[in-house]
Chain A
Amino acid sequence: MGVGRSGNLGAQVAKGKVTRHASRSNMANCNCFFCLPSPSEGNSWKSTALCLLGGAALASASIVFVSRIWEKFRQKNTVYPEDTVVLHQFQRAKHVPSLSPFCLKLETFLRMHNIPYMTILDSPLSSKGKMPWIQFNQSRVEDATFSVMFLSETFHIEVNGMSGSVTSQQKAMSRAVVSLVEESLYWTVAYCRWVDHVDQTRAELPYDGVLKFVVPWMMAGIILREMYAHGIGKNSREELYRIMEGDLKALSDLLGEQSFILGERPCEADCSLFGVLAQIMWTLPGTRAEALVKGEYINLANYCIRMRELFWPDWSRIVTEKH
């Protein structure tokens, strides 16, 4: 810049002597970064680099844009069989049918009530940017909770999945247990998986190559941000594990010797619970969460195995890691 060349620039400015860069004749002599020669003036590496960068950015943006449009177009024009629930979710994982507790919850619910369904794996996200979501004939429902409500109405299932007489007290308890699992335990497990034990999680992911690193890195950021907004993220690591332990203890005490969380009949709360517990049982080896579930609260582990045998007899065929 001009500073190097003229020592007392300040004095020169004060005397009104130094002129600005706006005039093009000055620019020709200037060596500063801003004075890029125009492309017609010869092969400056800066201008070529800028052109290449711009071109690459434009090309990748258009590829992503076009593929998105194409995907949406294909989705719209695909005709699904009638009276079959189309479940959109993530890919199958190595040790569990889905790494997302909500996808697993919804699919378990469908199996629990023998609702005919088909899965679309690796589907685009719903309009809210979440997974899972379902289509049924002409309806489209997002979010696992609303999907369960919709299915309960459409297929005339007792709201919390228990057929026969169920007291309003039990229905209320079912809702409270779902809150405990989905609003509290879920976040502590997500923290354990994506922030605390991200190396083990990487091995569980069904991706290869670059995605194996990009996805956990993105997820950690998203999870931490969401947890902070939720409020639970303001706790320290130790406090989060204390909350996890408290929640697992409460669930274990509630389950006791029963077959299902609220008695001898399964309900929506069981689907939620299984969705999260399955992650602890089979995708978090060597973590404190697994130690708690398979140790002190072993009735939860037995419950998990029971749910798997009841509703997922084809488990070993569905998970990608064959023994």
Chain B
Amino acid sequence: MSGSLGDVQGSLAALYENLQTLVLLLFTDPTQLSYGQAFVLVGVSVLLVATVVWTFFGRQNGTMVFINAVLRTFGTGQTKTGAGFTPGKVYVYGPPSVKAIPSLFPFSMKLETYLRMADIPYQPVHVWSTQGPKVCAYTSCNGKIPWIEYNGEAMGDSGLILEFLNKEKDVDLNQSLSEADKAVSRAFTKMVEESTYWGLVQSRYMDNYGKLHDLFELPWTVMFLVRSVGQREIRQMMRGHGIGRHSKEEIEGIMEKDLKAISSFLGAKPYLMGDEPTEVDAAVFGQLSEIVWTAPDSYLHRIVTVDYPNLLVYCNRIKDRYWSDWDQLTKKSKKDK
């Protein structure tokens, strides 16, 4: 036992001694370093830097920082850093349109639908990154897509953006609602964004993993990186949320009940709260549009089209009224249905 222990100690010490001599050599006479030694030095320093980054940004964030960096280098669109923005104009940062839908992120669809309902002109800027153009502290930018820029200031989180724009542009889509109705509105918004949303995430990123490439339309090298790292991230997020602990069947059960609730509450009404659309319609359409148009052949699509068809009718109603340029944005080819 002491023999092998001695050997281990010996080799560890030898390693340490080697590294030490290499570092010394680097500082005293770098030209003497062979390529192998230089490679080892570079490897060790990369490891050190990676450990530091990992420690500071935490296990979750470190990977997201990495993904963001990758996406930002490959992303398109110019950001309105500093000068060059029109005051009073809303710049909406989000992913570019794909064949399936104008935006792959439900909260982007929600935000843009709201802007269209409220008649607030905006300019979409297509990027893939989740942070603002300026160096804003990670937490205050919320790290979410979509984010907007208004008068040079970046702002994240669709809920907060809506509140801000309501005040700034003097808009209130909910003005015809009673206090109790507003409460119901809030409850349904929460349900669709905190519960139904995760079922969509599960379906898109876990169950229909293979279809992601076609859906996202990114260069396959980027897609490969995002897929291999992204799935683990999402699984961790879902576990942290709590829903990740449920089995696949249990999640499907939750989704079924959520969609049934929306359908029952909608009934035969044109919009959720009555004859005119309100903020909750933007939120619900944001999530449902993803189900209807980006998740064909999934159980979610079946629920929305076959089990509770009033949801499909509702989605088409909003699409026809507020997204008349849908086909232009998605550049549908003639053979798509």
Contact = CB atoms under 8 A, between A and B. Distances in A.
Contacts of B5: 38
Interface in A171-186: 171-173, 175-177, 179-180, 183-184
A10 interface: yes
Interface stretch (B20-28, B224-232, B295-303): B20-28
A253 interface: yes
Nearest to B5: A38
Contacts of A76: none
A21 B21 CA distance: 13
Contact of A180 (B32, B140, B157, B187): B187
B17 interface: yes
B184 A254 contact: yes
B191 interface: yes
B14 A22 contact: yes
A34 B19 CA distance: 15
B331 interface: no
A254 B14 CA distance: 72
Contact of B238 (A30, A145, A179, A229): A229
A70 interface: no
B309 interface: no
Interface string B2-34: 100111011111101110110011001100100
Contacts of B307: none
B29 A10 contact: yes
A175 B29 CA distance: 72
A249 B186 CA distance: 10
A-side interface size class? 35 or more
B194 A184 contact: yes
B250 interface: yes
Contacts of A36: 9
A235 B2 CA distance: 56
A2 interface: yes
Contacts of B18: 20
Interface residues of B, number: 62
A14 B32 contact: yes
A2 B46 CA distance: 26
Given A168-B264, A184-B194, A176 B142 contact: no
A35 B144 CA distance: 52
Given A14-B29, A173-B265, A176-B261, A35 B9 contact: yes
Contacts of B239: 229
Contacts of B13: 20-22, 27, 30, 32, 34-35
A173 to B, nearest CB: 6
Nearest to B191: A179
A172 B267 CA distance: 11
A227 to B, nearest CB: 8
B106 to A, nearest CB: 12
Question: Which residue among B7, B142, B190 has the maximum number of chain A CB atoms within 10 Å of its CB?
Answer: B190
A235 B29 contact: no
A219 interface: no
A234 interface: yes
Nearest to A20: B14
Nearest to B10: A22
Contacts of A226: 240-242
B336 interface: no
A177 B265 CA distance: 13
A175 to B, nearest CB: 4
A10 B25 contact: yes
Contacts of A231: 144, 194, 241
B72 interface: no
Contact of B16 (A34, A228, A235): A34
Question: Which residue among B6, B60, B183, B260 has the maximum number of chain A CB atoms within 10 Å of its CB?
Answer: B183
A34 B6 contact: no
Given A20-B14, A36-B9, A40-B2, A129 B245 contact: yes
A247 interface: yes
Interface in A1-41: 1-3, 9-11, 13-14, 18, 20-24, 27, 30, 32, 34-36, 38-40
B143 interface: yes
Nearest to A269: B187
Interface in A241-256: 246-247, 249-251, 253-254, 256
B104 to A, nearest CB: 17
Interface string B238-258: 111110011000100110011
Contact of B245 (A24, A128, A254): A128
Question: Which residue among B13, B262, B267 has the maximum number of chain A CB atoms within 10 Å of its CB?
Answer: B13
Given A234-B157, A247-B186, A172 B265 contact: yes
Interface of A: 1-3, 9-11, 13-14, 18, 20-24, 27, 30, 32, 34-36, 38-40, 128-130, 143, 145-146, 149, 168-169, 171-173, 175-177, 179-180, 183-184, 225-226, 228-231, 234-236, 239, 246-247, 249-251, 253-254, 256
29 contacts: A1-B17, A2-B17, A9-B21, A10-B28, A13-B25, A24-B6, A24-B10, A27-B13, A32-B13, A34-B12, A38-B2, A129-B245, A130-B245, A173-B184, A176-B190, A177-B187, A180-B191, A183-B194, A184-B194, A229-B237, A229-B239, A230-B237, A230-B242, A231-B194, A235-B157, A250-B182, A250-B186, A251-B183, A254-B184
Top 5 A-B pairs, shortest CB-CB distance: A229-B240, A179-B191, A183-B194, A250-B183, A176-B187
Given A14-B29, A176-B184, 11 more contacts: A21-B10, A21-B13, A171-B261, A172-B262, A228-B60, A228-B240, A230-B240, A231-B144, A235-B157, A236-B140, A254-B180
